[in-house]
């Protein structure tokens, strides 16, 4: 049986950490779709492209120059592994704007479906359960208060040597939440059949445990039907 697990939710809910752990434990692939939006946003920055002034022709041109690859559970853009450069505050400031462009979403959604095809995989993002993999066997939506998410993100950034204040991190998160959940195309939203987990006050291990329980229940249910 091929098992697709969609993990969605806003920034700082621990999606990446949890999704990676689940994939490791189940020994299946893991795809971070946010990294793809970040990589495209970095391409905009590097090439001085303003996301507010872009049309479909420009998007076509951009995607002719961009090529994503997925090898050994890692994402590559134009042959280069996606590194911490895509996590910079500069990318953080424009990524939601880039991700709200319909033509960009269409292209990335197609690539993501192709990468997830025919295998068991954990895919994390904002619109995986609703748009990218609406048939995923397991759909999880992680939440937490904005303060808690900003605290977690600040800790992560400081550990990476990126010097930012709590206020900067908090403001970026609130602004991204707003753009991501109000955009017209594929807004950040829990799928109707997603299990919502509030991660406030829960450890990573506790969240992983909860998700594994849901996965195991699903596997048992499917096996019964076979």
Using rule CB under 6 A, residue 34 touches ligand CDP: yes
Q: In what order do the strands lie in the sheet with 68-71?
A: 68-71, 74-77, 80-81
Q: Which two tokens stand for residue 101?
A: 């462009």
Using rule CB under 6 A, residue 23 touches ligand CDP: no
Closest approach, Cβ 13 to ligand CDP, in A, equals 7
Report how many residues bind ligand CDP under the rule CB under 6 A: 14
Using rule CB under 6 A, residue 43 touches ligand CDP: no
Interface residue with ligand CDP, options 96, 139, 154, 207 (CB under 6 A): 96
Helix, strand, coil share of the chain (percent; to 5) = 55, 15, 30
How does 17-50 read in b/e, with b if 16+ C-beta sit within 10 Å? ebbbbbbeebebbbbbbbbbbbbbbbbbbeeebe
Closest approach, Cβ 220 to ligand CDP, in A, equals 29
Part of the chain binding ligand CDP (CB under 6 A), chosen from 74-82, 124-132, 138-146, 206-214: 124-132
Instruction: Please name the residues in contact with 82: beta carbons below 8 A apart, sequence gap of 6 or more.
Output: 35, 38, 39, 74, 75, 76
Radius of gyration from C-alpha coordinates of the chain: 17
Part of the chain binding ligand CDP (CB under 6 A), chosen from 54-62, 119-127, 191-199, 216-224: 119-127
Using rule CB under 6 A, residue 99 touches ligand CDP: yes
Using rule CB under 6 A, residue 187 touches ligand CDP: no
CA distance 99 to 161: 26
Using rule CB under 6 A, residue 157 touches ligand CDP: no
126 or 139: CB nearest ligand CDP: 126
Q: Give me the count of residues in the chain.
A: 226
Whose CA is closest to 9, among 171, 191, 150, 215? 191
- 47-86 binders of ligand CDP (CB under 6 A): none
Q: Which residues bind ligand CDP (CB under 6 A)?
A: 11, 16, 33-34, 37-38, 95-96, 99, 125-127, 176, 180
């Amino acid at each position: 049986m091929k098992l697709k697990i969609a993990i969605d939710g806003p920034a700082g809910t621990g999606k990446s950490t949890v999704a990676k752990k689940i994939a490791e434990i189940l020994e299946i692939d893991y795809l971070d779709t946010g990294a793809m939006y970040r990589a495209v946003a970095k391409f905009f920055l590097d090439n001085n492209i303003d996301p507010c002034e872009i049309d479909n022709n420009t998007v076509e041109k951009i995607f002719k120059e961009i090529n994503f690859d997925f090898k050994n559970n890692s994402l590559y853009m134009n042959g280069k592994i996606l590194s911490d450069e895509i996590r910079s505050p500069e990318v953080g400031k424009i990524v939601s704007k880039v991700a709200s462009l319909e033509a960009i979403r269409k292209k990335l959604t197609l690539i993501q479906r192709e990468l997830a095809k025919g295998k068991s995989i954990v895919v994390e993002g904002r619109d995986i359960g609703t748009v990218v993999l609406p048939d995923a066997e397991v759909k999880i939506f992680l939440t937490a208060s904005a303060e808690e998410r900003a605290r977690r993100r600040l800790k992560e950034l400081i550990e990476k040597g990126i010097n930012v204040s709590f206020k900067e991190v908090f403001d970026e998160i609130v602004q991204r939440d707003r753009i991501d959940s109000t955009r017209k195309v594929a807004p950040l939203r829990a799928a109707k059949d997603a299990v919502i987990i509030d991660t406030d006050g829960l450890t990573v291990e506790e969240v992983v445990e909860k998700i594994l329980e849901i996965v195991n229940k699903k596997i048992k249910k499917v096996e019964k039907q076979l």
